Amino acid sequence: MTGSLFGTDGVRGRVGVEPITPATILKLGWAAGKVFLRAGAGDNVLIGKDTRVSGYLLESALEAGFSSAGVNISLLGPMPTPGIAYLTRTARACAGVVISASHNPYYDNGVKIFSSDGTKLQEKLVQEIDDMMLQPIECVDSSELGKAKRFPDAYGRYIEYCKHTFDRSLSLDGLKVVIDCANGAAYDVAPNVLEELGAEVIAIGNHPDGFNINDNCGSTHLEAVVDQVRESGADIGIALDGDADRVLLVDAQGNTINGDQILYILACHRLNKGGLKGGVVGTLMTNLGLELALQDRNIPFTRSRVGDRYVHEKLTEQGWILGGEASGHIICLDKSTTGDGIVAALEVLEVMLQTGKSLSQLIAGVTLFPQLIVNVPIGTADGKELTKNSMIRDAVSDAESRLGKTGRVVLRPSGTEPLFRVMLEGDDSVLVETLTLEIAERVREAVSE
């Protein structure tokens, strides 16, 4: 998303610091409500959240904002982001609002919005909301205020949807599965889905207290699920992030499987079954090893900007259905309108059962290049301006020359955090590390200046 308020994935930041303050979030609800009403999309929104303690605060603020605009609210409570997208579409709401900061620590939070069809908002509506934020709030008459209610059986409906994406002729009976819910939105849903499909489930990261979301658990901290897989002798480990739109995996030996490898598994299996429909969309950060492995299978591949909404846009543009990011955002448009960690994990389990192969066997055809990402804090510095800095550009040119045709350099400001990401990959891990650290140091020097 673009504009003064929205980043690449909605509005996000530290709670209590603009824009994540009660007053601004209340006004965001009002502004979005006015825009939705003006667009004729309807007068009912769904609001769901993850397990952060600040979710109660922002939920109340959004509720007041939408109500003051004359929009009705259905409250979902803690619910995975893809579940909110699904329910928005099937309940025919005008929009679905997610209160979450995804993989960030508990003290951050944010708001992202799905359109009535369960996809991220179009740029036009984003800009209209941004423009409306500049106007003073005008509350509708008391007789026109929006009403709030609880959405009935949100959990149950989403669980059934997830199960419906899994081949009905198969069962997870006999499989031991470790699921790390990151103490986030899927803490109850994910274990139930797996158990109802027959798996022996060992759940961890499923006791949220408002503060422990993503805290040494989930897809950003795989140590816990790796240890549990090894100790229990599980067949697979599944690690979600705080709002469950990402998933990373662990094989029976405790080796981690990232989003690029998951895409390889799904693409190859779909190709063999005749269900690939085109090719695969990755991002600028997708490992070169995946691109080459898909090339070996004659599977088309293209890159989008970083962010699942841009992957979705590119899929729509190409008419394809499979894409994602190394971080674990996996989009299967024939099953979901957005990245869904549970649904992606179920498809991998389906592949394991249908082929009789383990995870380690399924990824044998792809070799990822050594890749290193260094995140440099930039505070209030302009990340886009840093990419134009002559000192940084010279360092990049030197690195590209030394890496040759088997390496890449990608620099980009984060769209969700005050960080500048420096990513290098190549076939020489020592050289990759050396060059990455050199460029990161140039970035730090530019920031300090």
**Which residues, at least 6 apart from 98, have a Cβ–Cβ distance to it below 8 Å?**
10, 48, 49, 81, 84, 111, 112, 113, 114, 243
Considering 74, 100, 102, 327, which one is annotated as catalytic? 102
Cα separation, 1 vs 8, whole angstroms: 5
- According to DSSP, the β-strands at 176-180 and 200-204 are parallel
Cα separation, 344 vs 371, whole angstroms: 24
Burial class (CB in 10 A: 0-12, 13-18, 19+), 449: exposed
Burial class (CB in 10 A: 0-12, 13-18, 19+), 223: exposed
Query: What are the DSSP calls for 361-382, one per residue?
Result: HHTTT--PPPEEEEEEE-TTS-
In 3D, which of 205, 193, 186 has the Cα closest to residue 81?
186
Whether the CB-CB separation of 286 and 325 falls below 8 Å is answered with: yes
Beta strand residue intervals within 321-398, DSSP E = 322-324, 330-332, 371-377
Residue 49, phi then psi, degrees to nearest 5: -155, 170
Q: Which two tokens stand for residue 253?
A: 């030996």
> Is 102 marked active-site?
yes
For residue 191, whether the previous peptide bond is cis, meaning omega lies within 30 degrees of 0, is no
Q: What residue type is 50 in one-letter code?
A: D
Cα separation, 33 vs 308, whole angstroms: 25
Vertex 195: Cα angle to 207 and 241 (nearest 5): 45
Q: What residue type is 309 in one-letter code?
A: R
Whether the CB-CB separation of 69 and 140 falls below 8 Å is answered with: yes
| Sign of the CA dihedral with 321 first, then 159, 245, and 343 last | negative
Burial class (CB in 10 A: 0-12, 13-18, 19+), 71: buried
Catalytic residue numbers read: 102
